[in-house]
Amino acid sequence: MATQNAAKVKRLGVIGAGQMGLGIALVAALKAGVPVTLVDNSQASLNKGLAFAAKDISKKRITPDQADDARLKLTGTTSIGELAGVDFVIEAVPEIPQLKFDIFAKLAEVCPRHAILATNTSSIPITRIAAATTKDPKDTSSSSRVVSTHFMNPVPVQKGVEIISGLQTSAETLDTAITFCRAMGKIPSVSADSPGFLANRILMPYINEAVICLETGVGDRDSIDSIMTNGTNVPMGPLQLADFIGLDTCLAIMRVLHLETGDSKYRPSVLLAKMVDAGWLGKKSGKGFYDY
């Protein structure tokens, strides 16, 4: 992955103060050493996120001066207009297509013309997100700067990040995204703009098949997870992993794969859909395949 066209990133913007957005902001401040402006429409979420970040930084194996410097690099705002001076922005809001389209249309207006506009989406086509930045398909000044930096969760722990180009993405945009992710201490993998990209195209059918094995009685919960942890050396079984990801997220991604490809092998498990209907979403709701 050559990066001869990469531009320098001096200031980062992150949209979304949830688990993913906060993790991205924290790693960028600590590892890449760049000032980060964290944007969220909820002041309460910002306050909670920044307080958690400050506490987390204090636990790192760094000097007090380094910790103070990292904390000073993180600022929060409820105004997307505060991103007028960034070189790179990463959107990390829920997987709601229209929400992302609206955000990117606004970013194209607010951010400098050189700024890279990145999304953390795990399933929405990058080409479609890039198209939201302009009303004229012939004008690629904004859409060529759109790319995906899909970080793995939890961001401070996982090294992997998927870099996905849309049809409009320029070589410079791709190179800058790869270089900046490396500066954050990540190991990038490049994927085509295809349903599910690489990680979810492989991972979600694996999880879905485990749920089908459970619903059809091939094995019970503990046997399914045990054979994978003890037989393939993964850190957790597919059903426990689904709980940690969120069963609603797993279902949403499987539905995208099924819809976009038209391939029956991506049909979501009936049990998975029923559990989401019941509100059993996994760890975040207190109940999924396991109780929390």
Question: Among the ranges 6-15, 64-73, 117-126, 221-230, which has the highest mean pLDDT value?
Answer: 221-230
Report d(CA 78, CA 56) in Å as an integer. Answer: 22
Active site residues: 122, 150, 162, 200
What is the pLDDT of the chain when averaged over all its residues?
94
CB 90, CB 118: distance < 8 Å = yes
CB 150, CB 122: distance < 8 Å = yes
Cα atoms in the 13 Å half-sphere on the side-chain side of 118:
29
Q: Is the pLDDT of residue 3 over 80?
A: no
Cβ neighbours of residue 56 closer than 8 Å, sequence gap 6 or more: 26, 156
The pTM assigned to this predicted structure is 0.88
Q: What tens digit of pLDDT does each residue of 236-270 get? A: 999 999 999 999 989 989 998 999 999 999 999 99
95 among annotated binding-site residues: yes
122 among annotated binding-site residues: yes
Q: What tens digit of pLDDT does each residue of 97-152 get? A: 999 999 999 999 999 999 999 999 988 999 999 999 998 888 899 999 999 999 99
Percent of the chain with pLDDT over 90: 82
53 among annotated binding-site residues: no
Q: What tens digit of pLDDT does each residue of 171-210 get? A: 999 999 999 999 999 999 999 999 999 999 999 999 999 9
